[in-house]
Structure 1
Amino acid sequence: MQQQRSFTKEASGSLFLVPTPIGNLEDMTYRAVNTLKSVDLIAAEDTRHTQQLLNQFEIETKQISFHEHNKENRIPELVERLQDGTNIAQVSDAGMPSISDPGHELVLAALAADIQVVPLPGASAGITALVASGLSPQPFTFYGFLPRKQSEQIKTLTDLAQKPETILFYEAPHRLAKTLANIQTVYGDDRQVSLARELTKKYEEFIRGTAAEVADWAQQSEVRGEFVVMVAGNEHPTEAVEAADPLAELSPVEAVNALVASGMKTTAAVKQVSKLRQLDRQALYQTYEEQK
């Protein structure tokens, strides 16, 4: 058990988790600015990007890079500095640290070293989108970015299909159409979906409709900006939800070939196709091997 009083003076430094704007600089809070000015060091995901923010608010605090590619070496260094009494603020490029951004491992390391971790409230794309989505805001499940591979994405969506709460995903513009097509495939044409893009920016936009309507919009439109994808929960979670076959137009062997080409192992691909189409797995495997 560990008990923390965030603002009790300690010999060691404190780790402050500071949110930054997701677009509109006016969403920077007074407290965030004052914290970044008062700490000894800022651990930033991209120091060049963060420097623009610091210049905007006349913050002169020194930065150090902390991102996915250097975290293994950087975390011990940051923890040592915290133990020596250095106050450090951690920021990502936008929004809350640790939410689809670096930070969680640093928090764990700081807590293991009995260092105070102090979070600041602020901008978060998921919550901002959810309250204007038109979908039920509570309860909700935040998932973040879905797997990129088709087969893995279908499996993840299927695993979430029984959830009665609204589900939140993040998605990049170049993958949006395929992701929405998979959502339509797994959840059906009529499930309600809400999209939010370019939140707090000049071209902020919401697209609300059925899975079929939203998927069609993505196919027909020039998609730009980062998206929050929100899917209504299953109103009848006790009813079994069968995943539709995303490769239905292909023969069983062609479907296996497509899944293997996407990176899935042969045995897993045969298992998935045979399950979706209610085929004998061993017979399909034998046929696949014969036609290779």
Structure 2
Amino acid sequence: MQKGSVFLIPTYLSDHHEASFLAPMVLDVIKNTDYFLVENVRTARRFISSLKLGLDISTLEFEVLDKKSTPAEISQYMAPVIAGKDVGVISEAGLPGLADPGQLAVTFAHRNGLRVIPLPGASSIQTAVTSSGFSGQQFTFHGYLPIQKAERLKAIKNLEQQLSSTGYTQVFMETPFRNMSLISDLVDTLSHHVNLNIAADIFGQHEFIKTQTIAAWRKQKKDLHKIPSVFSIGHFS
């Protein structure tokens, strides 16, 4: 019996996009897939509807794959794929698997001999690095920093130490509603000469990408509350 394939389907990085932002092969895969593992069913349905592919959304099957999904649930979700059905993995934004629970489906696929097919699309992490002016040759992605303030401040100091000792660009994220708290901690904790890049609402109507020193950020107030953002500190060449 031929097993199904696991398609990693990119989504918009901003809410203000159209189908033209996606590669034709992405649209073709979605049009010919009726089984999806998604982080959020409501937003996945809205995303597919926005593509205007003539699909009857009510006929599509969705299962929730998030950070709370158990190994037993993942095994259950992937059983149809082992039986020969293709599945599309859709995250909330960008590419599944990068700071994203889509990794769980990919891990299962490799362990069970399923073909993994990544589709071309934008990554907020890669885009932030390339637009920062920092080195894209060597960088470290840390994902989300700790929620508790004391641990977060310690993590921020550690980021600066790693930048100083390795020269590697240090990249990290935050839940959008905690952006302003993180920015406040960054400008209060990092040395004044450190360069900080903030890449917010990438490819969106309110896109904001700027790199400057912490000393300069202390003088500039930018409201990024609830706006998806990627942060990095690094050196200019």
Same fold (TM over 0.5): yes
Q: Which runs of 4+ in 1 moved over 6 A?
A: none
Q: Tell me how far 1:62 sits from its aligned partner.
A: 1.2
CA RMSD, 1 decimal? 2.3
Q: Tell me how far 1:11 sits from its aligned partner.
A: 0.9
Q: Match for residue 66 of structure 1?
A: 64
Contact 1:167–1:233 under 8 Å retained in 2: no
Q: How does 1:178-197 map to 2 (within 5 A)?
A: 178-197=181-200
Identity, in percent, stands at 25
Q: Match for residue 79 of structure 2?
A: 80
Q: Match for residue 207 of structure 2?
A: 204
* 3-state SS in 1 of match to 2:185: helix
Segments of 5+ residues of structure 1 without an aligned counterpart are 1-9, 236-292
Closer, same or farther: CA 212–171 of 1 in aligned 2, 3 Å: farther
Segments of 5+ residues of structure 2 without an aligned counterpart are none
Contact 1:79–1:113 under 8 Å retained in 2: no
Contact 1:180–1:215 under 8 Å retained in 2: no
- Distance in 1 of aligned mates of 2:137 and 2:68: 37
Closer, same or farther: CA 162–70 of 1 in aligned 2, 3 Å: closer
Q: Match for residue 135 of structure 1?
A: 134
Work out which structure has the larger RCO, using CA pairs closer than 8 Å and 6 or more positions apart in sequence: 2
1:20 paired residue among 11, 27, 48: 11
- Distance in 2 of aligned mates of 1:103 and 1:173: 20
Q: Match for residue 53 of structure 1?
A: 47
Closer, same or farther: CA 64–173 of 1 in aligned 2, 3 Å: closer
* 3-state SS in 1 of match to 2:162: coil
Q: Tell me how far 1:20 sits from its aligned partner.
A: 1.0
1:43 paired residue among 23, 37, 43: 37
* 3-state SS in 2 of match to 1:43: strand
- Distance in 2 of aligned mates of 1:50 and 1:39: 13
Moved more, 208-217 or 143-152: 208-217
Moved more, 221-230 or 79-88: 221-230
- Distance in 1 of aligned mates of 2:6 and 2:24: 18
- Distance in 1 of aligned mates of 2:178 and 2:203: 22
- Distance in 2 of aligned mates of 1:145 and 1:70: 16
Larger of the two Rg values belongs to structure:
1
Q: Match for residue 223 of structure 2?
A: 222
Q: Match for residue 213 of structure 1?
A: 216
Contact 1:180–1:214 under 8 Å retained in 2: no
